[in-house]
Homo-oligomer: A and B are copies of this chain.
Amino acid sequence: MANRRTSPPAVKQSPSPASPWRASRERVREREVKREAVIRAAAHAFNRKGYHNTSLDDIAAALDVTKPTVYYYVTNKEQLLFECFVAGVEQIRAAFREVKQLKVTGRERLNGVLRHYGEAVASEFGWCMVRAEEQDLSPAMSGHIKALKSEIDQGIRRLIREGVQDGSIHPCDPKMTAFALAGALNWIAHWYRENQSMTGAEIADAFVTIFENGLRPRAATVSAARRATPRRAATSRQAATRAGR
């Protein structure tokens, strides 16, 4: 029941071009594409108008189809929200896995996760991930969501503890600090919209810099000269995180 992706392993190469299975596999793939389009349309609508103010007719209209068509791909509205949530959270879990490899200080690993976290929140699934309310979902799915959220929270706390241990993070209460950091990033979903002057990555960078420094002025080590080139940290990061640019 949980896994409805009944598609076979689905190798990419087609050994016999005229295989009678080709058309069938093509159909399965197209179905999955359409299904994902429904999820994305839902995320987009939830983003703009909120979960409760979005009807399935709205979502269907955005796809130029009718409501029963949407129900052909998902079982109900609740599941739609859940899938959006999972899509968003998966980006963050990936960030944790990625960072786990690196052998740097705890603070740097934490920063890496926070940057991905911020980007994910600013992405199209950010709203759903952040604002999926337990009250809006059945107990079963609410449990799933709470577990996933807790996993992320614990992961952040762990990174904080490790950073404090290795001296790269100022001594602090891991629980409260995790709440503060995650809260600031989560809130991005409330005010950020595409077509803003900054990208999600830029905002995440800015936040990480703020968290690092704190409000109280620093000694001369990091002087005001840093403000002129705040992108320094960013550029050195780009190569590390997403193997690119």
Contacts and interface: CB of A to CB of B under 8 A. Distances in A.
Interface string A218-236: 1100001011001000000
Contact of A53 (B135, B167, B182, B214): B135
Contact of A212 (B190, B214, B224): B214
Given A52-B52, A176-B207, A206-B173, A217 B183 contact: no
Interface string A174-191: 001101111111111011
Contacts of A107: 215-216
B217 A180 contact: no
A50 B176 contact: no
A66 to B, nearest CB: 24
A176 B135 contact: no
Contacts of A187: 179, 182-184, 186-187
Nearest to A173: B206
Copies in the complex: 2
A32 to B, nearest CB: 31
A165 to B, nearest CB: 12
Contacts of A210: 172, 176-177, 180, 214
Interface of A: 49-50, 52-53, 107, 110, 133, 135-136, 163, 167-173, 176-177, 179-188, 190-191, 203, 206-207, 209-219, 224, 226-227, 230
